[in-house]
Amino acid sequence: MKIFCVLGIASLACSAVFMSCWLWYRGTLNRLHEESRRFIMDILESQSTLNRRASQTVDSLETTKLNGNHGTASPAAPVQYVSYWELFSTRKAS
């Protein structure tokens, strides 16, 4: 009976240690996952902003050429923020 009690107590102690290690590793993994996600989203948003500004510049140049106003440019459109799902959507090639 004493052997089974010792084995039971030892298994409970090991279970507690393994559970605390698992929770610690899981917390670290969640933190790294969140940092990686923020890093990638920052990169995608900066690329999206650069692409949007480049397309607005091209659009404004095309508009001024079509209107015949070579010296003046049209005011830039307000910046529209792209949603999370639109960043990862596929675009049609034109």
Profile the chain (94 residues) by mean pLDDT over runs of 10 residues. Answer: 94 96 95 92 82 68 58 52 62 55
- Contact residues for 61 (Cβ-Cβ < 8 A; gap 6+): 73
Tokens of 41: 């989203």
Q: CA angle, 20 as apex, 14 and 21 as ends, to 5°?
A: 90
Domain assignments of the chain as residue spans, ordered by start: 2-88
Give 83's Cβ-side CA count (13 Å radius). Answer: 3
pTM of whole model > 0.85? no
